[in-house]
Amino acid sequence: MKKRAIVAESLRPAEVARIGRIPGPLEGARFVTGAAMMSQLPVEGAREIAFAGRSNAGKSSAINALARRSALARTSRTPGRTREINFFALRSGAHVVDLPGYGYAAVSKAQKEAWQQLLWSYVTSRTTLIGLVLIVDARRGLAALDVELLSAFLPSARPVLILATKIDKLNAAQGRKAVADIHGAVDRAFGDAANGKSVIGFSAATSQGVTSADAVLARWLE
């Protein structure tokens, strides 16, 4: 029987209050450096978890929600604000890496291609990258560039967590369908190569999915 990706649900705030809360793996993160080209990347050593996604899918907001910070990663109403690879140090000694958004940016074609090449080079060649968090707008589903990125990363057999963001913009039934649709799209595109990948409905605004994402990232860092 084909093993399906994991679909995780978040704990409700009342449940968290009852059981107490262990700090999430991204809490306490601090900015280290930004790199506009591969030669500027920090020396490989610390383990790295990268966050990637289309411009305006909610990547920076997701990082801030997981870090319990309002402005750790810069957010903007203007797509394409993240123009470098930004590194944040965690309490564990690992790094969270905020990659440039892809797909849309109000810049020249040459600049857009340069950002995309930087992202692809990092994802395919960085030996200390232990896992990828892919940000997908739940209302729009998996895009062609998302599939292209996964195609470059999945052959490495490293784990992938897909956060279906802005889930609060949908009602409960729509949210469940959006998560299932993303899950199904990954299965159709990658088959057995997608086994064990996690898909979580996520909202930076309401914290839905935050504790579930915490648990996945904590396992990666064990």
What DSSP line would sit under 10-31, residue for residue?
Answer: PPPHHHHHHH--PPPTTTT-EE
Number of domains in the chain: 1
Distances (CA, A) of 148 to 54, 129, 141, 171, 172: 12, 18, 14, 29, 29
pLDDT in tens, 120-158: 899 999 999 999 999 999 999 999 999 999 998 988 889
Residue 126 lies in a domain: yes
pLDDT in tens, 161-194: 999 999 999 999 999 999 999 999 999 999 888 8
The residue range of the domain holding 120 is 6-221
- Quick count: other Cβ atoms within 10 Å of Cβ 186? 25
- Quick count: other Cβ atoms within 10 Å of Cβ 144? 9
Q: 117 pLDDT band (50/70/90 cuts)?
A: confident
Q: 4 pLDDT band (50/70/90 cuts)?
A: very low
Residue 78 lies in a domain: yes
Residue 100 is classified by DSSP as: P
User: Looking at residue 12, what is its pLDDT?
Assistant: 46
Q: 111 pLDDT band (50/70/90 cuts)?
A: low
Residues 138 and 163: their CA atoms lie apart, in Å, by 8
Q: Read off the CATH number of the domain in which 173 is found.
A: 3.40.50.300
77 has pLDDT over 90: no
| Terminal C-alpha separation, the chain | 29
Percent of the chain with pLDDT over 90: 63
The phi-psi region of residue 68 (left if phi > 0; otherwise alpha if psi is between -120 and 50; otherwise beta) is left
Residue 115 lies in a domain: yes
75 has pLDDT over 80: no
113 has pLDDT over 80: no
Q: Are strands 198-201 and 85-89 parallel, antiparallel or unpaired?
A: unpaired
Residue 1 lies in a domain: no
